[in-house]
Structure 1
Amino acid sequence: MDQTTTLSKLDQLKRMTVVVADTGEFELVKQYTPEDATTNPSLILKASQQPQYAGLTDQAIRWARAQGDQERFMDNAVDKLSVSFGCELLKLIPGRVSTEVDARLSFDRDATIRRARRLIELYEQQGIARERILIKIASTWEGIRAGEVLEAEGIHCNLTLLFSFVQAVACAAAGITLVSPFVGRILDWHKQQSGRDSYPANEDPGVLSVRRIYDYFKKFDHPTIVMGASFRNLGEIEALAGCDRLTISPALLNELAGQHDPLPRALSAEHARQADIEQLEIDETRFRWLLNEDAMATEKLAEGIRLFSRDLEKLERAIDGKMVE
């Protein structure tokens, strides 16, 4: 009997793809033993409301007060809390953790750079090398340009809210370490527009988007890592087996761990290098035009920034609430 058939699909996937846990909850990271982890304000808020993590919020508030800068108090508290969760996750994983820059800075290159540097400074004060951190930034033109500056300083970036090919190509040209195409949100948009309830995995628009990006990066030897994200079902994950990285929610990790059917490789660099693909040159004008021409990407990028911002505001309200207890 083939040994792979005795392994869970999760273990088979780990043999060809770096699995990243899309959670801020430490116990779940321990359970699924991913290589990397990623957090965002929504995940941090959810985890911080659990009794075993409440102390991290209290520590962040005390630290922010000690800085003596009332104007930046909330920014300091959020950044400290994000870094504290990141440090705890790094105790449990061998790889990197992604930490998000305030989404409200998505159209401000210089402010994004300053905030990213601050996050790295806070990590380094805790003895964490910058090599173990990915700074998560929205894939706007300004975000990509901020990432380019940060990468030149040895600060590695995860460009998120990526819905279009042009965003991916611009990130690769800027030397970004990792991009996160949002598979499920692309599917959501197409289902809504088409009126369809579902798509087969190999026709799923989100899956096809990631495959196109992966093939392009491998064809033209871009070292930028492709990390599929925002999955809606197991079929999407299986159709991207072999992708550089996949960041997966605990619910879907649990499904993968519970199934033992063979999981074939769907993506490979060898196959991509044989693909008939033209290289795309990108400047700001072309980026903005091609993004504008992609209604799905334009709408989902804007929506994603709004949602990330609302999540951050919820976290800030929770911190406010802790201060008056």
Structure 2
Amino acid sequence: MKRFLGVVVVLAAAYGLWHFKLKPAPEYLSVGGDAGLVISHKTAGGEFVENTLEGFRESLKMDVGAIEIDVHVVKDGAVVLHHDPVLSSYNCFAKDDDTRLIVAQQTVAQLAALDCHSHKIGKDYEISTLDALLEIYAQTDMSDTILLEVKVWDELIENNPVHVGLNVADMHYNDAHVAERVYSVLRKHPQVQNVQFNTFSRSLLLALRAQKMPEEAFTFGLLYKGHYAPHWMAPLALVLRKECYDSCWAPDYAEVRQWMRYNQISTFIPNFPQLDNILFGRGFRTHILAQKDGLKIYPWTLNEPKDWAKYQATDFDGILTDYPKGFLEWQ
């Protein structure tokens, strides 16, 4: 018990220095300048229902450089737009509905028949397909990059308390199958080349690259939050009064930079709060910022002026935000 309390005290002291890493502009005011690549995260998921055709169309009207979407491969081999692997009262059903449906185990027809409601935005929505989105995109000049986050197994899915009682293995298919199905949709639209694949899964990222044809211009980025480490991060979560699932992650920036360099991955998408953390900020500066060597860094997800100001003051190349319209007006 004494040892545990000692750890808590030390971490509490560290919490006092929590924001030493990234300094915002005074009063969170924009200092102007180059905004970098502005990325509409989850089709402007704070301003419109996330991962929808409506959000995609509205994002195309904005002065952004990229639009990020999340996709799952489902039971009939189609690729659908959705962030979470499970449909529940959190993201689809009424608040008093205890239904939980695993997205990967449904067909397109079954998903299209659902009456989903976004509690965040307060609107009903339909679950659409990647194919339908690319049909819209192909009618534009295709100058906005599509950041395609492909969902399979990762530690975030495995350790999410929302998934207790469900079989995580049912939430995804193997890497080769997922890559093949995603490419099958993209290749129906060969004019669409301005696409970057992003995923937390390193094995899937390499499987996607292995299936890319030489004439295809697709690029690859690694999403990163480190490893789930509740055995030693739980005291910090307790001090911060946060759920361990949100806070008990330990990045190893030296290891991930070496992996990206070895595998020639040129885009890094780190979790922004970890970069502003006394425990991990130095490692990020030393192994990522000081060793960019052409690496593009797009932190996720920055949704408030205090974070936008820190973004401006740091050597980042782009910003993922659920509020691209708000960021552009602030900028």
**TM-score where L is the length of structure 2:** 0.35
Greater helix share, structure number: 1
